[in-house]
Homo-oligomer: A and B are copies of this chain.
Amino acid sequence: MNKLRIAMAQINLTVGDLAGNSKKIVSYARDAACLGADLVIFPELSTTGYPPEDLLLRPSFVEDNLKHINAIARKIKDIAAIVGFVDKKTGIYNAAALIKDGEIRDVYHKMYLPNYGVFDEQRYFQGGTTPLNFTLNNVTIGIGICEDIWYPEGPARLQSLAGASVICNINASPYHAGKLWIREEMLKTRAMDNGVIIAYNNAVGGQDELIFDGQGMIISENGATLERGGAFVEDLVAADLDIGAALSPRMRGAGKTGVRSKAAPQAVRHIDLGAGRQAKKPELPKRNVQALPVIDEMLRALILGVRDYARKNKFTHAVVGLSGGIDSSVVAALAGLAVGRKNITGVFMPSRYTARQSRKDAEALARNLGVRLMTIPIENAFSSYLSTLKQAFKGCKTDVTEENLQARIRGNILMALSNKFGWLVLTTGNKSELSVGYATLYGDMAGGFSAIKDVPKTTVYALAKRINEMAGKAVIPEAVFTKAPTAELRPNQTDQDALPPYDALDGILKAYIEEDKGVSEICKMGHARAIVKKVIEMVDSSEYKRRQSPPGIKITPRAFGKDRRMPITNQYKNGLRKK
């Protein structure tokens, strides 16, 4: 009965940092060898980080990545390893190097290239044509990269029929809430259908709008989750796989979907790596990683996203405009958890319309979080704009112009602090507002990173509640939860003057933006046609604002950013009459 000790290095890589990524790969390979692993696997495109986007069009970048994978191979001598990199032939490939004894012994080219959602892989890569199996210590193992495992008829099927007992699938799979469950169900199906163990390793970390959540899994041939990688943290998951047990269901007649006759095992390339070098097998530490509740997942995703954007872009300090409202409170709390409360400055910028309660709440929040609070009133700047524009606006009524001016003064102040002190400005807009354009371009939308850009308002409240629960006290003051949300840009304004109640709004937005539902379908969900029409018109007419918004963290199946590519110039009326 063969055993294989496998290690999955769930590491946080940085796009473009070939030297740093290489160093980390080699170091984790050493750690895995110390754990007695026969094989260590790394994430997809480990050398370059994921996604390298148009860096891939630069030949010198691809060449540098090749130099690094070769250098990595030379340094990994005491363990077999699978490392993602960019291969170059007549085109370039999303590839996995199979390394042993300081050499690249073979290379697998990803066969399924995702080109939907946030993915553009067909923009860059040629698709591979041949699955690859290798034998190590008499165990046959198949290599797959990310998308490859999502297709029932994909390479894993052929690899299993050609004798693989284990499929190593390496990933850079972006997070959204609910994705872990989808992945796990898919992996169980794939493992059971093919009678193989699947070692699914994922990257971890933030890259612009994407969060890689880690949460790798080892799934047994009968669909049991044997081991999990930590959520949103680096991890080295080592496990002993019982290969004999894996093979037995297959001997009883696996291949449940019954295509064995169609699949030609000889289409799978095979390489024999001989014996591993890990004679000594120290006992592995017990692990007990559990899947998180969704709210905690989202919280961890947002914290990691802010932390990595700051860290990887060399920011040590962040600044948040605090209004006393729920959004800025949550962003400040997240920021504190991400980069440390000492590295956060809150700025309260009252105007003539700011309520006393807002100041109280902003001050309480800053005190509770232990972050520095600056107060910079905008009244002088606002008056000076009004007098500067008095002549130009002669005879005009006060309108949204004056509201936007206030928001833009605040944006300018935060940017001035950013310019002077090198701070990262975190914007505080949520997905609901950004969807309907209830935000000021160059105003509250001004900043480097948009922490809750993909968080619906109703979820912002849920996160706030969870933050307080975890802190064991009302870090975010109770009043912030109970008062009516308001932009405070004119007397007695509340969000609900302009918008439907957030519960209804978020339902409509999800249906329209994430699920591509049409007007009549959304109405059938129980929303009034007039409301649906208004919301959709607001969403459509705000595309120009979103185009200029800072990047922010994706936590839903469809975020604003790479995920959703809408024309600004767009006269489609969704079956609604033109106004």
Contacts and interface: CB of A to CB of B under 8 A. Distances in A.
Interface of A: 14-18, 20, 51-55, 57-61, 64, 115-116, 120, 122-123, 206-208, 308-309, 312-313, 374, 376-378, 380-381, 383-385, 387-389, 391-393, 396, 399-401, 404-405, 408-409, 411-413, 415-417, 419-420, 441-442, 446, 448, 516-521, 544, 547-551, 562, 564-575
Contacts of A547: 550-551
A380 B388 CA distance: 7
Nearest to A57: B516
A411 B404 CA distance: 12
B516 A59 contact: yes
Contacts of A385: 381, 412-413, 416
B14 A571 contact: yes
Given A51-B567, A115-B120, A401-B416, 9 more contacts: A20-B571, A55-B572, A57-B516, A122-B122, A385-B412, A401-B419, A401-B420, A404-B416, A547-B550
19 contacts: A17-B571, A54-B565, A55-B566, A55-B572, A59-B518, A60-B517, A60-B518, A60-B574, A60-B575, A122-B122, A312-B571, A313-B544, A374-B392, A377-B388, A381-B381, A401-B419, A408-B415, A408-B442, A442-B446
A207 B569 contact: yes
Contacts of A401: 416, 419-420
A575 B57 contact: no
Contacts of A16: 567, 570-573
Nearest to A446: B442
A544 B315 CA distance: 13
Contacts of A564: 54
A295 B550 CA distance: 35
A544 B448 contact: yes
A300 to B, nearest CB: 19
Query: This chain: how many copies in the complex?
Result: 2
Contacts of A51: 567
B404 A376 contact: no
A388 to B, nearest CB: 5
Contact of A61 (B312, B393, B572): B572
Contacts of A312: 569, 571
Given A60-B518, A60-B575, A53 B567 contact: yes
A392 B208 CA distance: 30
Contacts of A20: 571
A400 B388 contact: no
Given A313-B569, A388-B376, A412 B415 contact: no
Contacts of A313: 544, 568-569
Nearest to A561: B547
Contacts of A518: 58-60
A175 to B, nearest CB: 16
B548 A549 contact: yes
Contacts of A520: 60
A313 B543 CA distance: 11
Contact of A18 (B206, B412, B565, B572): B572
A567 B120 contact: no
Given A54-B565, A59-B516, A569-B15, A405 B416 contact: yes
Contact of A442 (B14, B442, B516): B442
Contacts of A415: 404, 408, 441-442
Contacts of A120: 115, 120, 123, 565
Contact of A115 (B115, B548, B572): B115
A569 B551 CA distance: 11
Nearest to A389: B416
A59 B544 CA distance: 23
A516 B58 contact: yes
A388 B381 contact: yes
The 4 closest A-B pairs by CB, nearest first: A16-B572, A60-B518, A17-B571, A384-B384
